[in-house]
């Protein structure tokens, strides 16, 4: 697969395997009544890491950005991961380092119910 464009699903599968190898619990976030929620929640040692997976160089949609902003405002930044190497950095020994972009919360946002 070298040289082929990586799909979002490929990146997610590989990063989840890396996180689990490092003892993170991982759950897919599915919300039929709310579009735009991030893809995965990861838990370890009292830490929650929320991840939006994207194909290389892709960005969250406007709807996803609204959800990400609301979560960040509540104290839970969303990390956008568009490569396996970025995911590896996130789930290394210190996941709270700024390895992955979390959404800028300076813009106005909308609470969705």
pLDDT per residue over 50-103, tens digit each? 999 999 999 999 999 999 999 999 999 999 999 999 999 999 856 555 556 555
For the chain, domains (ranges, CATH) are 8-90 (3.40.1350.10)
Residue 107 has pLDDT above 70, yes or no: no
Question: Are 105 and 79 contacting, i.e. CB atoms less than 8 angstroms apart?
Answer: no
Q: Where are the beta strands (DSSP E) in the chain?
A: 25-28, 40-44, 47-53, 78-81
């Amino acid at each position: 697969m070298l040289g082929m464009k990586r799909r979002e699903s490929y990146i997610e599968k590989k990063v989840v395997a890396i996180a689990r190898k490092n003892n993170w619990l991982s759950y897919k976030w599915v919300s039929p009544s709310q579009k735009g929620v991030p893809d995965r929640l990861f838990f370890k040692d009292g830490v929650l890491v929320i991840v939006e997976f994207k194909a290389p160089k892709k960005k969250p949609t406007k709807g996803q950005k609204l959800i990400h902003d609301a979560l960040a405002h509540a104290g839970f930044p969303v990390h956008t991961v568009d490569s396996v190497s970025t995911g590896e950095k996130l789930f290394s020994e210190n996941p709270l380092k700024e390895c992955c972009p979390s959404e800028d919360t300076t813009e106005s946002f909308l609470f969705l119910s």
